[in-house]
């Protein structure tokens, strides 16, 4: 099971939208996917049609009171399962500080769940828009990081910060093997010089990481979570669904090429 964090400490960049729709697109391509909502705001949870109920999150598994398997929910999409979030998940940061291994606690919970490891091809982590313990735990537990980046100049500052944090995670020995799998440009409007300029700038500095697929700015992507639906259910023939379908195919192609090169 490959663990992929969808991460950017800056909010409003399409992180949860990407977590939901990439997970769904991969599941539609026959991949077995577990999406873990690590954001106490629980937007990925509600975006898939679930309510943020108390005690349903990964909280109790992180503090050792429950098994990870007991938190997994079946979604309406075949091959896609969810571990939801809840508002009380914010309190887990206080709880985890008591553990000497607080930064690697999520890593150990995932590795100890042998049945979960065998049941899924990908585990997608939807991370909170902050650099707290939940975010750093996700980076420490991940094989790869996918960074959604809004097509605005301020987004480049956020990219610099998240890449610096990833370097710190490696250098601290918490997760020496974590890599930035890709950078995904979101809210792209090809009619504007701004969007094109930001994409060009990122490509100059991260040519190998930047995805060819871009996610367009479309109201349908914003509407879908309010109905508890992925874009594939809300607007299956629209440009948003096509973009996330293309992203999943490019994602899988990268992983096949990486596996064959290993």
Indicate the pLDDT class of residue 155, thresholds 50, 70 and 90. confident
pTM for the whole thing? Answer: 0.95
Instruction: Give the model's pLDDT for residue 159.
Output: 86
DSSP collapsed to 3 states, 141-202 = HCCEEEEEEECCHHHHHHHHHHHHHHHHHHHCCCCCCCEEEEEEEEEECCCCHHHHHHHHHH
Instruction: Give the model's pLDDT for residue 103.
Output: 84
Beta strand extents in the chain (DSSP E only) = 2-6, 33-37, 73-74, 80-83, 122-126, 144-150, 179-188, 210-216
Instruction: Give the model's pLDDT for residue 55.
Output: 63
Instruction: Give the model's pLDDT for residue 94.
Output: 81
- The yes-or-no verdict on residue 210 having pLDDT over 90 is yes
Residue of higher predicted confidence among 158 and 255:
255
Instruction: Give the model's pLDDT for residue 205.
Output: 87
Domain architecture of the chain: domains with CATH: 2-261 (3.40.50.300)
pLDDT tens column, 51-99: 877 668 999 899 888 999 999 999 999 999 999 999 888 888 788 877 7
Q: What is the arithmetic mean of pLDDT over 119-144? A: 93
DSSP state of 2: E
- The yes-or-no verdict on residue 262 having pLDDT over 70 is no
Q: What is the arithmetic mean of pLDDT over 14-40? A: 97
Neighbouring C-beta atoms of residue 197, cutoff 10 Å: 12
């Amino acid at each position: 099971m490959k663990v992929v964090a969808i991460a950017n400490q800056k909010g409003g960049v399409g992180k949860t939208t990407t977590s939901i729709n990439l997970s769904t697109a991969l599941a539609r391509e026959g991949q077995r996917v577990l999406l873990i909502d690590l954001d106490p705001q629980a937007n990925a949870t509600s975006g898939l049609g679930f309510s943020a109920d108390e005690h349903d999150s990964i909280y109790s598994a992180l503090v050792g009171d429950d098994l990870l398997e007991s938190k997994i929910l079946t979604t309406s999409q075949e091959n896609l399962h969810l571990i939801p979030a809840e508002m009380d998940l914010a309190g887990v940061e206080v709880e985890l500080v008591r553990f000497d291994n607080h930064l690697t606690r999520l890593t150990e919970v995932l590795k100890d769940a042998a049945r979960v490891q065998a049941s899924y091809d990908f585990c997608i982590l939807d991370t909170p828009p902050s650099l707290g313990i939940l975010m750093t735990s996700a980076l420490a537990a991940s094989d790869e990081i996918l960074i959604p980046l809004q097509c605005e100049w301020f987004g480049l500052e956020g990219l610099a910060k998240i890449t610096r944090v990833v370097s710190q995670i490696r250098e601290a020995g918490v997760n020496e093997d974590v890599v930035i799998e890709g950078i995904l440009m979101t809210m792209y409007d090809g009619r504007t010089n701004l969007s094109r300029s930001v994409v060009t700038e990122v490509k100059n500095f991260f040519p190998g990481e930047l995805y060819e697929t871009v996610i367009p700015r479309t109201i349908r992507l914003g509407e879908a979570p309010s109905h508890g639906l992925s874009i594939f259910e809300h607007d299956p023939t629209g440009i948003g669904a096509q973009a996330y379908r293309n992203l999943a195919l490019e994602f899988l192609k990268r992983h096949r090429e990486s596996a064959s090169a290993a």
